[in-house]
Structures are given as structure tokens and as C-alpha cells.
Structure 1
Amino acid sequence: MKGNYWRAAKAAKACVIVDAEDYFRFARQAMIRARKRIMLVGWDFDARIELAHREDGQSDGPEPTTIGDLIYWLVETNPELEVYLLRWDLGAIGSLFRGKTIFTVAKWAIHPRIHVKLDAHHPTGGSHHQKIVVIDDCFAFCGGIDMTGDRWDTRAHRDEEPERHRPGKGPAYMPWHDATTALQGPAAAALGEHSRDRWKRATGQTIAGIRSKHDVWPEALPVQFEDVEVLIARTAPKMPDQREVTEIEQLYIEQIGRAKRWIYAESQYFASRRIAEAMARRLDEPDGPEIVIVNPEAAQGWLEPLAMDTARARLVAALRRRDKHGRFRLYHPVTRDQEPIYVHAKVMIVDDMILRVGSSNMNARSLRLDTECDVAVDCSRPSNSGCSAAIAEVRNDLLAEHLDASIAQVEKKLAASGSLIETIEALRFKGRKNAKSRRRTLVPYEIPDLTGVEAWLADNQILDPEGPDDMFEALSNRGLLRRLSGWRRSRG
């Protein structure tokens, strides 16, 4: 229903790309095919990152492999090409001083066809969290992967990975799981329109659209969907010159409400009261769907664990009390040596009917405070009736990655059991002592003990406000569990 999304548009080709090794390589190939314009909209950006690794045979030509050098090379080689890069202003403060980034930005600044802007059009405490690349208004990437450091990893998520280090042979970082989409056709043009609107709000400058139908699709990128209708949903906070946009929140709630058998989700956080309420309603039903969420073991940083991990603990505890039928599970992935894999992907798959990928997390700020952009394929749309097999394959492929299994193994177990939870429990490695038998797996989430301060921070949403007004709302009017607790009292 309209209101849950901004635009419905066809994609001649579409694909889900899992993990940044493939995304960076395909992004480079697509940008090399650009003729008129490349637009990059991001939360963070690091000009030093490698998009392809020559030693692995991923570099397929003379074009530079680092994103900063590639952009400059492309505009120097093609006199008709312009590049627009828009990123969140506050997040740029530290990144300008990473290695040679400041010199790359200075080099770009004097080039007449490279335009770099820091986007300050957000409320206090808000951020621009979208991750979009649009090429010639006919091809786009939209999802959860930023072109920055600490993102690159392979789908193997090996414990020892020589290439998983910060730019300039900096320190290694933890294994990283992520996802985005590739789209070609009118859906990409719509994302181009959205990105140009973001540029205008940030700069006051109008950029005209491009009419282009040339094929930007990288040759090795699989096509999972053809001639499919894609829904585009956004979050935008209320501002003096901007109405509040809550399409992403509404789409989450509507899609959770439609599930018949399974909801499978991957998210960096699970801290949204509104999403938890929607799930609680389904858990109350005697024949409702199973709900499986894959989260990282812990949020990164020093503030995030206080805000997100404590809120997750409170919500999961509340949902487990509501889960009378044993249909709710939360897991986190680990490597072969049982080390945490960080989940940054933002994915939700409902039955074999709905696939959504984007920038939004299951936390309050993604629904009301930050700018976000998600895309979804819904089989109930008249032109999408043949999409269910491809959607099921995306879900089974993600589970196979986490469980170190084959897609065929996942399909067989799921068909035999009819249960997503039973399938995961049957396939997941459960800690046998033989080191040779170890493999990647999913580990059930355990609710930690919370200190009084952590519980207070979570319950009052101090670090995860639900919108611009909530930043300054009296604490007596806030509360992570205020509705879940009320339901528990009134409905048992």
C-alpha cells in the first residue's frame, strides 16, 4: 500500500551482493562504464580503499584500484564525465585526516568535474546513513555497504585474512558481513532522482537528470531478478523545510504483519521498540511465523554497546516472555575459530515472498531520525509473481554462508522440517572439540546481566532517540518498553 514506500519502479536486472569483496569489485567495474555521471551518497567514505586486488586477479585493466585514484583517472580519461560525492558532514571530520585522504580531496577540489559536498541538512544528533551509488541514472547500488575502511571481507570470513586490514597496510580488523543490491533500469533512475534531491537540499544546487539506457551491468555479476518491480522506501526526519518521512518504519511493520511462515532478518542492531511491538503481535498468535534475527555479538564503539546492546537485551527478554510458542530466535555468527563476525547487513526476508535490503537498521534512529533508503521486491505485486524462487535462494544462500553449509543442504533441511529454526539448529556447529571439524556457525544470543546504568540508558533511549523531537523530550515521556510492558500487563 502506498505510504509504505516512495516509489515503485521496474528493474530490468537486479541482484543482491553479499559482502564487500564482490561489491567493491563490481562497483569499480560499473564506474569504469560510466559515460556522463557518477553519484556517490554515503555515511562515510575513504579515498584510500582498494576496490580490487591485483594479486588475486581481480583487476581487469589499467584503471586504478583505489577509489580515490580511480575517480580522478576516470574524469581525466573521459572529458564528459562528472562525479558528485555527498557524505554526512559530522562523520567527515576525522576521515579527512586519514593517510593521504586530505591530499586526494584537495586534488579533487581543483578539478572542475569532481564535486564533493558535506551534507549538514539533518537535525541535531541525526546522520545521513544512506549508501547509494548511481551511474548515468540507469544503474545503481543501494544497500548497507559504505565505501570506507573496515568493510572489505570475503564470504569465507576467514580467521586469518591477509587483505582484511585498514588502508596502507594498517591494522587488521574483525571479519565483516554486509549486503547491498545492484539495479539497472527505471529503479536506478528513481534512485538517481532521490540522490539529486539530496544534493539539492544539501547544496541548493539543482542537477538535471540523465536519459541513458546503455548497459552498465558488470559482466560477471549474476542476474537474480529480471523485469522486477522494486519498491523504494526512505526515512527522513522532520525539519523546518522538510516533512517527516517514515516509509521504512511503515514497511517494516506491514511486512512483519504479512508473514505466514518465516521472518529472517539481518541487522547491525535490534533496538527498535516499534519493530519489537510488531513482532510481539505475531508471537502472540498460535499459528504465527517463526522469527529469526542475525545480529553481531556486540555493537562496535564505546557508545553503541551502551545504547544498542542494552536495548537489545531488554527487548529480547520481553519478546521471550511473550514467545509462548517457541518461535523467536536471535543468533550471532562466528568464524571457524569461534571469533565474532560483525553483522553490518540490513536484510529482511519474509517467507519466499518479500526481500528487502537497505541502509536501515532495526533501531529507533533508523526509523525516525537519520536518513535511510531501502529497496524491496514483493511477490504480491502483479508483475513479480515469478520471484519467490529467487527470494528463497537469497535467504538460503545467506544461511549457508553463516552455517558453513551448501545452499542444497539448507534447502533440503528446510523442506524436510518446514521450520527455519529447526534447520538452523540441525546445521549449526555446536562446539565439538576436534579442531579439524570446526566451521563457521550461528551461536544463540544470551541475555547479559545489565547494570543499573545500562538498563536506565536503554529504557530511556538516551542514545537511540526515535526522532528529532525525542532528543529533547522529557524522560518521563520516553521508554523502550513502555508499550511492550503495557501489553504484558493487559494481555498476559
Structure 2
Amino acid sequence: MSIANDITPPSPGPRAEALLQPGHNCWRIEQAERFAVIIDAADYFIAVRQAMLAAKHSIYLIGWDFDARIRLGDGGDGGPVALGDFILWLARRTPSLNIRLLRWDTGAFKAIFRGGTIFSIIRWKLNKQIRLKLDGEHPLAGSHHQKIVVIDDRIAFCGGIDMTLGRWDTRRHLDDDPQRVGPNGEKLKPWHDATSAFDGPLARAMGDLARQRWRAATGEVLTPETATHDCWPAALRPNFHNIRLAIARTIPKMPDRKPVAEIEQIYLDLIARAKKWIYAESQYFASRRVAQAIAKRLAERDGPEIVILNPVSAEGWIEPIAMDSARARLVEALRRIDHQGRFRLYHPLTKGGNEIYVHAKITIVDGVYLRLGSSNFNNRSLRLDTECDVILPAHEADNQDGELHFMPLLHDLLAEHFDRTADEIAALFAQCGSLIGTIETLREAATGRSLTPYQLPDLGGVKEWLADNEILDPEGPDEIFEPLSRRSLFKGWRWPAFRRR
């Protein structure tokens, strides 16, 4: 990733109140000796494979889904390529190693019958070093959605990439990549995703989080590791060194467990704090609370530009009805408020004009705040599912190095979406001085990959009713059973004064 940058990000100033507040919008603030942003699964699978090769004592794989059939990066280390075989090989190779896999229970029932998955599970069960458990510690209709890997408490990965079918892609997002195929040779669509890697005390904290989740799902109490060896993958170049950052969570309300909505609060605080611009990539845009916070900023005379990247349509058979319909209603409302044209929603396309599915969950604010994790801009992520994000502040938590900012990451992401170099993006951004202006200039000149504006669809009466009543994307476990007369996508929405008139 290029580190060229011609714009000095705005500083919150020495008297500004700190963003990160444990117990309010984050869980813990810890130091990472090394931190890397990993874009797209081709690079992630290689990095996580190399890190697991260094494991001596424990590996936690905490995820929404695992598919034993996927190819886990380029081998060359003597081990099998497929994830299921590789995990078994690791256990046999290192007798002191314990591997624990925790995945969402509801999704597992269908996954068991995929290809040879059942045979991989049987082989794992026969090895005492491997433990596969299903996470059912969630409300009705909720899911375990975290995507965490922790190795010996020495390195951790946290983001949006699942080790499952359909996630692998390179940053080129070719229209017809011969390597982007399923186990049976079926062609898979282009896929954009992101995660992070870090070590130091922050990795140990993520180990604590993994053990907490394991205990919640299984009842088993595990102790931290005391290893001192280095697990950092040779293929991964850190973006930052010796920085402090935070972990934020969503834990839904349960009969014996207090809810945690740190991620929702950090979203609202980031939106409120933005001075110049907000850039976000999310699988969904369906959260009423996030849209309310955006509406408040759009109503200001000198508020920030806000750019969100979404897939053209949500994946699955029921998600488009819920998420796409809610997105249309929220965007329609925001456009009525956005008199200065500061809000944009785009979709990334390949050179051939095909959709690149956005599964990344990244937020960058003014180049001085970065959030990356498993959560999306939807109600489930903020109240109903279990989620985990990391937040990096450039000027807080003892991060006072003037060189620490996230403009290079923004340049790098836009370079990927427009088939340009990061240096070209940095120069154009410096010249233009506007996030939306930079994107629109790139769109006009695009000859390869590009971003296309979101077009409001015509919603039928049923879809509009489903969206307005949040039938398939409730805000929490209690709202699932809330009477329809009390539901509304715009519940609590305070329209700006000029709109009410």
C-alpha cells in the first residue's frame, strides 16, 4: 500500500474530548506492536495460513461460517491446501497444539451437508486436539457473526472475512478469474472484503474475548497463553507499529446476560465527530439509528460529505427483501434532507460492468479515525447479533505520532475500486479537496473498474411495508415480538425544521 499523502488530516485538537471511552463505546484499549489492514481474502488466507503454521499451543477460530473445502492460500509449506485437511495436518504436526472452532449453530445445520463436510467433521472429532462447537448463545433469529482468529495469544485477526465458500478474490476483481471457483468448479462472483491483523497486548485481549465467547457457548473455562514466540506472517507488511486501539462489541440482550451496544455507540460518535468526510464500506445500509445520525449531519450547513459503498443487492433469498427495501426507504428520506448534495451511495463494478459484492465493513473518518470489523450498518449488527470491531484513533490513546493517519488507506481503497494507483488517488484528492468530487472525477475518466451510483428502485406495497416495519431486521430480541403498531423504520426520527415546514 502506498503511503503517499498530500493532505494533512484535521486534528481533533488538544482540548477535544477523547472519542474512545471504555464502557461506553468500546470494551478495552490496548497496544498493538504491529497492525495491518488486509484487503480481500486472497491475501488474508495466505497470511492466516502462515500464522497458524507458527502456532504451538492454541488456535481459536471464532466465526459465522467455516467451509472445510475451501483452499486456504498458497501451500508450499508441506501441508494440504483445503482448510479441513490443513487443520487436521496442523494438529498431527504439533502434538502440543489445541485447535478450537466455534461457529454459528443455525447456519451449521445446512453446512453439514455441503460436499464432504460431514467427513471432515468426523475426522476432526476423532482427533482430541481439535474441538468443533456450535454457538447457540444468541436470541431467537439472532446469529453469532464475529470473525476472529487468535493464535497463541500472540497474533489475532479481526474483520469481515469468513473462511468459507465465495470469499476468495484478489484485489483485481477480474470478471472471469480461473481461480475464483468453488470445490466443484462452479464460477463465483467477484467479492470485496477486509480484515485486520495485530499482535502485542491487543492480541492477548482478543484472546480473552475468544475465551469469553467459548465459555458462553460451551461452559468451558480456558486460561490465557503465555507463549513468547513470534507468529507474525512473513507475507504480511504492517501498516502501523506501536499504536493503541480499541475493541468494540455487540452482545445481544439475553435472559442471563446484559446487552452491550458499544459498536452502535461508536458508529454514532464517529458520525457526530466527522468534520470533512466519512467513507464507509458495508454489506448493508438498513440501520435506522445510523441513518438518523447521518440525517442530522446532512441538515447542518457545513456538515461532512458522506460516502457509503454497498453491494448492488444483498446476498441470499430473504436478505434482498429486508435489507434492500429498508435501504431504499432510508436513502429516499436522506435525499430529501440532503439539499447540498453531500450524501452518496455507490456500488463497485468490474471492468466488464459486473457487480463486485461488498462484504467489507470499514469506516474512515477525516483520515484520523478507522473502524474495521464484522458489523454492518443494519439493526442486527447493532443489537441482535454478536459482533466485534477494532477502532484506531490517530490522535488519541497516546497515538501522538504526526505520521499516524489513514489517508493512505482511503487512497488505497479508491485505487482498487478505480483500477488506479494510490499515488494517483492521493494527487487527485489533494487537488480536488472533496471526497465526492474525487470519486466523480474518477468515474468520468474510468476505463476499468469503477463505482456506479445507487438507483432508487420502485418498491411494491409489500416490500415497503416489510421495510417500514423492520420485519426481517429487528433492532433487538425484544423487538421481534413488538406489535406492528409500534414498529417503524422511522421511529424516533426527528425531521429537520426545514423538512417539517
TM range (shorter): over 0.9
Aligned to 1:48, which of 62, 69, 72?
69
Q: Answer with 289-298 or 422-431: which moved more.
A: 422-431
Matches within 5 A, 1:345-360: 345-360=360-375
| Shift, 1:166, TM fit | 1.3
Distance in 2 between residues matched to 1:327 and 1:389, nearest whole Å: 27
Where structure 2 has 5 or more consecutive residues not aligned to the other structure, the ranges are 1-20
Matches within 5 A, 1:312-327: 312-327=327-342
Corresponding residue number in structure 1 for 2:289: 274
| Shift, 1:428, TM fit | 1.8
Where structure 1 has 5 or more consecutive residues not aligned to the other structure, the ranges are 53-57, 432-437
| Shift, 1:287, TM fit | 1.1
1:478 paired to 2:493: no
Report the residue type matching 2:154 in the other structure.
C
Distance in 2 between residues matched to 1:73 and 1:197, nearest whole Å: 27
Residues 429 and 213 from structure 1, CA distance in 2 versus in 1: closer, same or farther, beyond 3 angstroms?
farther
Residues 413 and 194 from structure 1, CA distance in 2 versus in 1: closer, same or farther, beyond 3 angstroms?
same
Report the residue type matching 1:273 in the other structure.
R
What does the per-residue CA deviation read over 1:54-106, in whole Å, with 9 as the maximum and x for residues that have no partner?
Answer: xxxx3232121211111111110111000000000001011111111110110
| Shift, 1:220, TM fit | 2.0
| Shift, 1:212, TM fit | 2.1
| Shift, 1:211, TM fit | 1.4
1:304 paired to 2:325: no
- Structure 2 length-normalised TM: 0.94
Aligned to 1:142, which of 154, 158, 162?
158
What does the per-residue CA deviation read over 1:159-205, in whole Å, with 9 as the maximum and x for residues that have no partner?
Answer: 01111111242x11210000000011111111110110111111111
Give the aligned CA root-mean-square deviation in angstroms: 1.4
Matches within 5 A, 1:225-304: 225-304=240-319
| Shift, 1:482, TM fit | 2.8
What does the per-residue CA deviation read over 1:425-471, in whole Å, with 9 as the maximum and x for residues that have no partner?
Answer: 1112578xxxxxx4100001111110000100000000000000000
CA contact 1:129–1:359 (8 Å) conserved in 2:
yes
Distance in 2 between residues matched to 1:456 and 1:321, nearest whole Å: 20
CA contact 2:285–2:377 (8 Å) conserved in 1:
yes
Distance in 1 between residues matched to 2:229 and 2:342, nearest whole Å: 47
Matches within 5 A, 1:167-182: 167-169=183-185, 171-182=186-197
Corresponding residue number in structure 2 for 1:16: 37
1:111 paired to 2:127: yes
Q: Secondary structure of the equivalent of 1:286?
A: coil
| Shift, 1:404, TM fit | 1.1
Corresponding residue number in structure 1 for 2:411: 396
Report the residue type matching 2:129 in the other structure.
R
Report the residue type matching 1:398 in the other structure.
L
Matches within 5 A, 1:32-111: 32-52=53-73, 58-111=74-127
Q: Answer with 357-366 or 209-218: which moved more.
A: 209-218
CA contact 2:394–2:404 (8 Å) conserved in 1:
no
Corresponding residue number in structure 2 for 1:30: 51
Distance in 2 between residues matched to 1:393 and 1:263, nearest whole Å: 15
Distance in 2 between residues matched to 1:106 and 1:91, nearest whole Å: 18
Report the residue type matching 2:108 in the other structure.
A
Corresponding residue number in structure 1 for 2:452: 443
What does the per-residue CA deviation read over 1:204-251, in whole Å, with 9 as the maximum and x for residues that have no partner?
Answer: 111111012321111121110101111100001110111000000000
Report the residue type matching 1:263 in the other structure.
I
CA contact 2:337–2:499 (8 Å) conserved in 1:
no
Q: Secondary structure of the equivalent of 2:294?
A: helix
Distance in 1 between residues matched to 2:403 and 2:365, nearest whole Å: 10
Alignment: residue pair count: 480
| Shift, 1:286, TM fit | 1.1
- Structure 1 length-normalised TM: 0.95
Aligned to 2:199, which of 162, 184, 187?
184
Corresponding residue number in structure 2 for 1:434: none
Q: Secondary structure of the equivalent of 2:334?
A: helix
Identity %: 54
Report the residue type matching 2:91 in the other structure.
V
CA contact 1:5–1:233 (8 Å) conserved in 2:
yes
Distance in 2 between residues matched to 1:297 and 1:387, nearest whole Å: 38
Q: Secondary structure of the equivalent of 1:205?
A: coil
Distance in 2 between residues matched to 1:218 and 1:168, nearest whole Å: 30
| Shift, 1:388, TM fit | 5.8
| Shift, 1:383, TM fit | 1.9
Structure 1 residue runs of 4 or more that deviate by more than 6 Å after TM superposition: none
Corresponding residue number in structure 2 for 1:55: none
1:154 paired to 2:170: yes
Matches within 5 A, 1:407-446: 407-429=422-444, 438-446=447-455
| Shift, 1:407, TM fit | 0.6
